Structure 1
Amino acid sequence: MANPTEDHFFKVALRMVDRAGTLVRDAFEQPTSNVETKSSNTDLVTETDKAVEELLIRGLSKEFPDHKFIGEESVSGGQKVELTDAPTWIIDPIDGTTNFVHRIPLIGICVGLAIKKQLRAGIVYNPITRELFSAQKGKGAFKNGFPIHVSKTEELNKAVICTSLGIHNLKTLGEPWLDNALANQKKTVLAGVRGHRAFGSAAINMVYVAQGSIDAYVEYGLHCWDIAAAAMILKEAGKPFNLMGRTVLCAGTPSLAKELSSALTHVEMETEGDAIQED
């Protein structure tokens, strides 16, 4: 169970996320946005993305000067991914940046907290739809204050699953990866899956599994900031999770996870930094 100190960490983070949500919502409602291109035109960064991370890190640092941070924009700027025993906030300022740029209202401000390399809290906030997903270790998972739980679907032919072609993998893994990804989609169709969805945000995909809207989700090549906050929510909604492996395969039930996994040809990804420890 979370202790009073961690409760304080969590409440401060909620306040910071709410402030960040106002910033994102105001920018989203504008007709245009200044966009930079990093490595390709599929990896878009808005000035809002940067402003949100700065707001969160500045606010949390002011309250907790001894805490550490792993942020998407900070790492893009050259900071090393380093997870220590110190309280560490893992931040994706806007997960679903392409959605944001194209004004598709499926985005998440993601803030996860690890202490002694264990996930202790997670917040995923979509400020456009005003959906606030949150969890603390041992306290359950919630959406806008109401408990949520994973689905009970056990068979792939009764499941709706999230998959993504994850075009970010094309640059590093090449066309063989793409062939494999397309083949995996074909395999799930032939296995009778009810439908595929792709929401353009790993965090949104995962919290929709956590609330039972989606039965399973699989993707490769993600980073810890994409999934840390949602992983905590998913764990508290009923499923274990491995954070640093850069591979997501989560489902509402063990039997569905096993059937989906056996239907796929998996891609091996190197881990990113030290692994989150499970207690």
Structure 2
Amino acid sequence: MEDPWQEAYDFAVEVARGAGAVIRKAAESEIKVSTKSSTVDLVTKTDERVEKIIIGSLKEQFGEGTHCFIGEESVANGESCNLTDKPTWIIDPVDGTTNFVHGFPFVAVSIAFAVNKQLEFGVIYSCLEDKMYRARRGKGAFCDDEPLAVSDVADIHKSIIISEHGTDRSPEKVKKIFSTMQKILCIPVHGLRGSGTAATNMCLVASGAVEAFFEIGIHCWDIAAGAVIVKEAGGVLLDVDGGPFDLMSRRMVSANNETIARRIIKEIEIFDSERDDAPVQKKKK
């Protein structure tokens, strides 16, 4: 039987690489910055331009109206964020915009593809490092052409954990974020890290460089591609309450194994974060 999604997968890799080249070139020139939900939630002209390039290329390749799209900048401009059974591309054109603005060298293009609400593949191009991470459901994960495998560490005390602060600076949420980090650090673990991009963080879990990444307040476009890559590298995905992973919930733990994941979950102080698929008119500014 002919593979129905191999063409889409191969094209996604090509598009991600092309988008990364645009980002690298933009990083050498003047960066125009505005804000979205807060003064620390940044968007640049590059984010918007790269998303248009990606979606435009996909529509040209597969035909207008045949696929659906969930893009970070499109949603920020008022489009819906609903995952249906239709073939759907989930896109973060520049994951790590704050890094990009400051010249911090972790910026990624993240492209995922879902059918019947199931993620079929994920592609993450860490464009400043020139590393292409990719995975297809049931067919393994790779960095460039090298297979990926999560760490075999089972002892939480020998682990490195990644998390991020997010863009919500409300004191009550910041307090919970740092309280969680303090409790995890005092387990103790070998260290806490953060690259500034969820996509890159998940690739670090998949490659075995760290044992886990968790965050509350992320979006589906931040983690959709990474979710496929982590799972295909042998890792696990859970909700921060220990339940099943929910792409639209804006909260996640990805880890090399369930033992590490559930030990971290014991320390997480959960706070509310409105779902990505909440009705648009009810979304908070």
**TM-score, scaled to structure 1:** 0.92
Q: How does 1:1-279 map to 2 (within 5 A)?
A: 4-30=3-29, 32-65=30-63, 66-166=66-166, 168-170=167-169, 174-241=170-237, 242=245, 243-273=247-277
The alpha carbon displacement at 1:179 in A equals 1.4
Counterparts of 1:235 and 1:143 in 2: how far apart (Å)? 14
Structure 1: runs of 5 or more not aligned: 275-279
Counterparts of 1:128 and 1:3 in 2: how far apart (Å)? 35
Aligned residues of 1:155 and 1:259 also touching (Cα < 8 A)? no
In the alignment of these two chains, the number of paired residues is 268
Q: Runs (4+) of structure 1 moved beyond 4 Å?
A: none
The alpha carbon displacement at 1:177 in A equals 1.7
The alpha carbon displacement at 1:43 in A equals 1.3
Q: Give the aligned residue type for 1:60.
A: L
The alpha carbon displacement at 1:240 in A equals 3.7
The alpha carbon displacement at 1:38 in A equals 2.5
Q: Secondary structure at the match of 1:99?
A: helix
Q: Give the aligned residue type for 1:159.
A: S
Structure 2: runs of 5 or more not aligned: 238-244, 279-285
Q: Secondary structure at the match of 2:4?
A: helix
Counterparts of 2:6 and 2:71 in 1: how far apart (Å)? 22
Aligned residues of 1:134 and 1:141 also touching (Cα < 8 A)? yes
Change (3 A) 1:160 1:225: same
Q: Secondary structure at the match of 2:168?
A: helix
Q: Bigger shift: 156-165 or 98-107?
A: 156-165
Aligned residues of 1:121 and 1:229 also touching (Cα < 8 A)? yes
Q: Give the aligned residue type for 2:106.
A: L
Counterparts of 1:151 and 1:117 in 2: how far apart (Å)? 28
Q: Bigger shift: 246-255 or 70-79?
A: 246-255
The alpha carbon displacement at 1:3 in A equals 5.4
CA RMSD across the alignment: 1.6
Counterparts of 1:271 and 1:235 in 2: how far apart (Å)? 22
Aligned residues of 2:236 and 2:255 also touching (Cα < 8 A)? no
The alpha carbon displacement at 1:189 in A equals 1.9
